[in-house]
A and B are shown apart, each in its own frame.
Chain A
Amino acid sequence: GAGVSQTPSNKVTEKGKYVELRCDPISGHTALYWYRQSLGQGPEFLIYFQGTGAADDSGLPNDRFFAVRPEGSVSTLKIQRTERGDSAVYLCASSFAKNTEAFFGQGTRLTVV
């Protein structure tokens, strides 16, 4: 596609449920990032993939959060036992290589009720 695509654009889930958020990066981009943006804050880094491997997951807040990128393209961010504090906009970005410009998707707005 022309840009980074994230689905769904909005997700409402009940506390305690499991959710998956999907990111389709720009074709050919090897680097992929997930960020979380809480209301009134800037995006905060969660995890970085280079190819299929998670090269840096230091931003994941706890072990309820996990992300995969099995074929080096599409990535899925998985959140178990969701809590109301997980409500935020989850942003995905991709770049051709690690030190090149990152392009952001429009995000998935997650609301935990």
Chain B
Amino acid sequence: GDSVTQMEGPVTLSEEAFLTINCTYTATGYPSLFWYVQYPGEGLQLLLKATKADDKGSNKGFEATYRKETTSFHLEKGSVQVSDSAVYFCALSTGGATNKLIFGTGTLLAVQP
């Protein structure tokens, strides 16, 4: 069945460091891909998305490129801030009758000043 595998955490970085969180997927058809973020004490929020191969999603300095050939959607940011500390979830949706999301297990990012 469809699934998402993402890098295990926690990931601990110093402020201004470069961030990569790896995400790969298995899906039939052509899924849409998402990164959600959960800040402490808050609900899940959509961070960025890409709906077709080679699309790049971007928001708040974060980027991810939909790579069909490697079935990947890695999240990157050039310079992290303490305020980026959160749990990041990679997810896919194959659309269809439900458009439900299938999530990875989440990666905790801790950014130290």
Contacts and interface: CB of A to CB of B under 8 A. Distances in A.
Contact of A4 (B43, B98, B99, B105): B43
B103 A44 contact: yes
Query: Among the interface residues A45, A55, A56, A104, which one has the most CB atoms of the partner chain B within 10 A?
Result: A104
A43 interface: yes
B98 A43 contact: no
Interface in B14-57: 36, 41-46
The B interface is mostly helix, strand or loop, or mixed, namely loop
Nearest to A31: B99
Contacts of A105: 43
The A interface is mostly helix, strand or loop, or mixed, namely loop
B89 interface: yes
Interface in A1-19: 3-4
Given A104-B43, A104-B45, A105-B43, A42 B100 contact: no
B103 A40 contact: no
A33 B100 contact: yes
Nearest to B36: A104
B46 A45 contact: no
Interface of B: 4, 36, 41-46, 89, 91, 95, 97-106
Query: Nearest 4 A-B pairs (CB), nearest first?
Result: A42-B103, A104-B44, A56-B98, A106-B43
